[in-house]
Amino acid sequence: MTKWLSISDVKEIIAATSAEEVTASYLELIEKSSINGYTCTSDGALDTAKMVDKGEVAGPLAGVPIAIKDNISTKGLATTCSSKILEGYVPPYDAHVIERLKAAGAVIIGKTNMDEFAMGTSTESSCYGVTLNPWDHERVPGGSSGGSAAVVAAGESPISLGSDTGGSVRCPAAFCGVVGLKPTYGAVSRYGLISYANSLEQIGPMATCVEDIAAVMDVIGGYDARDSTSIDNKIDYQAALVDDVKGLKIGVPDEYFGEGVDSSTEKAVWDAIAKYEEMGASWGKVSMPNTKYALAAYYTIAMSEASSNLARFDGTRYGPRSEGENWHVMASRTRAENFGKEVQRRILLGTYALSAGYQDKYYLKALQVRTLVKQDFEKAFANFDVLMAPTMPLPAFKIGEKVEDPLSQYLTDVNTVPMNLAGVPCISVPCGSSDGLPVGLQIIGNHFDEATLIRAAYSFEKNTDHHKARPGEVA
Q: Which of residues 230 and 415 has its CB atom nearest to ligand ASN in the complex?
A: 415
Least gap, CB of 145 to ligand ASN (angstroms): 8
> For ligand ASN, which is the closer residue by CB, 315 or 350?
350
Scanning 158-166, 249-257, 285-293, 462-470 for contacts with ligand ASN by CB under 6 A, the matching segment is: 158-166
Closest approach, Cβ 39 to ligand ASN, in A, equals 17
Q: Quick one: which segment of 42-50, 115-123, 269-277, 424-432 binds ligand ASN (CB under 6 A)?
A: 115-123
Q: Is 164 in the site for ligand ASN (CB under 6 A)?
A: yes
Of residues 120, 192, 340, 390, which one binds ligand ASN by CB under 6 A? 120
The Cα–Cα gap between 208 and 212 comes to 7
Least distance in angstroms from the C-beta of 285 to ligand ASN: 27
Q: Check 42, 83, 122, 144 and give the catalytic one.
A: 144
| Residue 154 CA: distances (Å) to CA of 4, 38, 267, 450, 471 | 7, 12, 26, 27, 7
205 lies in the binding site for ligand ASN (CB under 6 A): no
**By CB under 6 A, is residue 166 in contact with ligand ASN?**
yes
SS3 284: strand
Closest distance between ligand ASN and the C-beta of residue 298, in Å?
A: 7
Interface with ligand ASN includes 119 (CB under 6 A)?
Answer: yes
| Of 39, 113, 121, 160, the one binding ligand ASN by CB under 6 A | 121
Name the segment binding ligand ASN (CB under 6 A); options: 166-174, 351-359, 394-402, 433-441. Answer: 166-174
Beta bridge partners of 112: 38, 69
Q: Are 434 and 450 in contact (CB under 8 A)?
A: no
Contact call for residue 141 and ligand ASN (CB under 6 A): no
Considering beta carbons, is residue 334 or 409 the nearer one to ligand ASN? 409
Closest to 95 (Cα-Cα) out of 187, 189, 191, 160: 191
Residue at shortest CB range from ligand ASN: 168
Q: Is 442 in the site for ligand ASN (CB under 6 A)?
A: no
Q: Which stretch binds ligand ASN (CB under 6 A): 164-172, 253-261, 319-327, 390-398?
A: 164-172
Contact call for residue 413 and ligand ASN (CB under 6 A): yes
- Residue 410 CB, shortest distance to ligand ASN, in Å, is 7
Query: Of 13-21, 78-86, 119-127, 243-251, which segment contacts ligand ASN by CB under 6 A?
Result: 119-127
Please name the residues in contact with 237: beta carbons below 8 A apart, sequence gap of 6 or more.
Answer: 213, 214, 215, 217, 218, 221, 450, 451, 454
156 binds ligand ASN (CB under 6 A): no
Q: Out of 37, 65, 158, 167, which residue is the one contacting ligand ASN (CB under 6 A)?
A: 167
Each residue 298-317 as x (binds ligand ASN by CB under 6 A) or -, in order, gives ----x---------------
CB nearer to ligand ASN: pick between 114 and 269: 114
Contact stretch for ligand ASN (CB under 6 A) within 22-30, 162-170, 256-264, 287-295:
162-170
Taking CB under 6 A as the binding criterion, the range among 43-51, 112-120, 250-258, 449-457 that sits at the site for ligand ASN is 112-120
Given 11, 33, 42, 69, the catalytic residue:
69
Helix H or strand E segment including 7: helix 7-16
Closest CA to 438 of 272, 277, 274, 279: 272
Mapped onto helix, strand or coil, the DSSP state of residue 135 is coil
Q: Does residue 433 carry a catalytic annotation? A: no
Q: Which is nearer to ligand ASN, 10 or 81 (CB)?
A: 81
User: How many angstroms separate the Cα of 437 from the Cα of each of 177, 408, 442, 461, 466?
Assistant: 8, 20, 16, 18, 12
Q: Which of 168, 230, 428, 434 is catalytic?
A: 168
Q: What's the rounded Cα separation, in Å, for the pair 274 and 366?
A: 36
Count of chain residues binding ligand ASN (CB under 6 A):
12
Q: Is 165 in the site for ligand ASN (CB under 6 A)?
A: yes
Residues listed for the chain: 475
Active site residue 69: yes
Single-letter code of the amino acid located at 339 = F
CB of residue 121 to ligand ASN, shortest distance in Å: 4
- Is residue 183 within 8 Å of 159, Cβ to Cβ? no
Rounded to whole angstroms, the Cα distance separating 22 from 29 reads 11
Evaluate the omega torsion of the peptide bond into residue 163 and state whether it is cis, within 30 degrees of 0. Answer: no
Cα→Cα distances 42→81, 144, 378, Å: 16, 21, 43
Rounded Cα distance between 131 and 126, Å, is 9
Query: Which residue of 144, 184, 300, 304 would you call a contact of ligand ASN, by CB under 6 A?
Result: 144
8 Å CB contact between 79 and 72: yes
Q: Alpha-carbon dihedral of residues 392, 396, 399, 404, nearest 10 degrees?
A: -20
Given CA atoms 398, 404, 406, 408 in this order, what sign does their dihedral have? negative
Answer whether 160's CB lies under 8 Å from 68's CB. yes
> Is 118 a binder of ligand ASN (CB under 6 A)?
yes
DSSP H helical segments within 33-161, as ranges?
45-53, 96-103, 146-153
Q: Which residues are catalytic?
A: 69, 144, 168
Binding site for ligand ASN (CB under 6 A): 118-121, 144, 164-168, 302, 413
